[in-house]
Amino acid sequence: MDSTINLKQKLSLFNDQWTPKIIGELNGQQVKLAKLQGEFVWHSHEQEDELFYVIKGQLIIELMEKTITLNEGEMYIVPRGVQHKPIAHEECHVMLFEPASTAHTGDVKHELTKDQLDWI
């Protein structure tokens, strides 16, 4: 990669929700952008931690034992193996950092599951 990545410009390239787009890769980790609204599915990633960074809006991450609320500029790392359910009452823009091997919805197959993610 020989140029900067503008997050606002990348976010302007798509409108679909719950469908992360890959914008970079480093050391086996992918950097993804996603637009979220509504409720996702309960799932976990047995081998991978997952970082959520809120660019715009508010993201709620339900865990079995507590609820995490993230506002713009805040991040949270969901530890590997932890069941979680992201919720965005209004459209939320997030950046995700996770290993390239991370399955979108872990072992759960759901209508929202994406088996192949696009690079933008």
Name the one residue in this structure whose structure tokens are 């965005």.
88
What pLDDT does residue 111 have?
Answer: 57
Torsion angle defined by CA atoms of residues 28, 110, 52 and 63, in that order, rounded to the nearest 10 degrees: -120
User: Could you give all domains of the chain from N- to C-terminal order, each with its CATH number?
Assistant: 7-99 (2.60.120.10)
The predicted model scores a pTM of 0.84
Q: Name residue 86's amino acid.
A: P
Which portions of the chain are predicted below pLDDT 70? Answer: 1-2, 103-115
What pLDDT does residue 88 have?
Answer: 98
Contact 57, 22 (CB under 8 A): no
What pLDDT does residue 46 have?
Answer: 87
Which tokens sit at 23?
């914008």
What pLDDT does residue 115 have?
Answer: 59
Alpha helices in the chain (DSSP H): 7-11
d(CA 68, CA 102): 21
Contact 40, 87 (CB under 8 A): yes
